[in-house]
Structure 1
């Protein structure tokens, strides 16, 4: 299948929007991910992909712990900042603090999980990361941010 055909097919598939963060020697890093998946419940495992050309790739792959943040529908701007190449993602107005295991935690998100990385798997132009949550914090009832056909949107109940 051609790459463009593959991309067109997946533009029709809605995906939840998350931000993955990690601590690095040069400071915190993070990126917007639409590949987050619940992989297993016993033991709890999550997976996500990080592009090998992404500025955060080396830090995420070297990290022992990462944080996965689930976004609310009104956090499109935050998702855009963390998706933009070259942006200072942790500068104001981004509100964050250092959390368990030294990972950067974003404030006011729907939920966050700090995960111990258990596996990195090269997968095409990405690395598939599998993590085991060791800490979680939930916010109020979620109105999740989703990505469909190149745009952000929401899901109503």
Structure 2
């Protein structure tokens, strides 16, 4: 293993390359075992919203990650069978909303299928680039979508924040072992 330097960035490389190597040979672990392991991993809860041109679209995500600080980038995954998938994949901009511990019902609303997730009591307004912005969330980022990457049965979406909305401080909503909860500070 060696270190390369390019324009001030340090990249660790195993064999002179940092390109994708593909999936591992052999059988992966069983889906049930994979899910059981990740049920033990607490995840922050976010709602992702986009406009499909005619109406607002959104879903609950627990896969949100801060990917890079220079430049700022975030990532999340969305299942390709999700009702929001087509709108997210065609959108140029999206909003990422971080939820507070008292917003469990909002998270549950955006996780339900077959309902109008933006109907009352959901409070929202059009934001920059026409992206739907949820009201009363602790923080939100409006992002320009820069990359979609197929990954198994999901698509990994990478966005570059172009606008921040900072609300009040609140304990974050987390998801652990199939339930919503919070963490203390």
Q: Same fold (TM over 0.5)?
A: yes
Q: 1:55 aligns with which of 83, 86, 99?
A: 83
State the distance in 1 between where 2:154 and 2:115 align.
21
Q: Secondary structure at the match of 1:25?
A: coil
Q: Does 1:104 align with 2:146?
A: no
Alpha-carbon distance, 1:142 to partner: 2.4
- Where do 4+ consecutive residues of structure 1 move more than 2 Å? none
Q: Does 1:128 align with 2:152?
A: no
State the distance in 2 between where 1:110 and 1:83 align.
19
Listed as ranges, the gaps of 5+ residues in structure 2 are: 1-28
TM-score by length of 2: 0.84
Listed as ranges, the gaps of 5+ residues in structure 1 are: none
State the distance in 1 between where 2:75 and 2:170 align.
21
* 1:30-49 superposed matches below 5 A: 30-49=58-77
TM-score by length of 1: 0.99
**Which structure exhibits the higher relative contact order, with contacts defined as CA atoms closer than 8 Å and separated by 6 or more residues?**
1
Q: Secondary structure at the match of 2:114?
A: coil
Q: 2:113 aligns with which of 78, 81, 85?
A: 85
Alpha-carbon distance, 1:26 to partner: 3.5
Q: 2:46 aligns with which of 1, 6, 18?
A: 18
Which deviations, in whole Å up to 9, do the C-alpha atoms of 1:94-132 show, x marking residues without a partner? 000000000000000010000000000001111000000
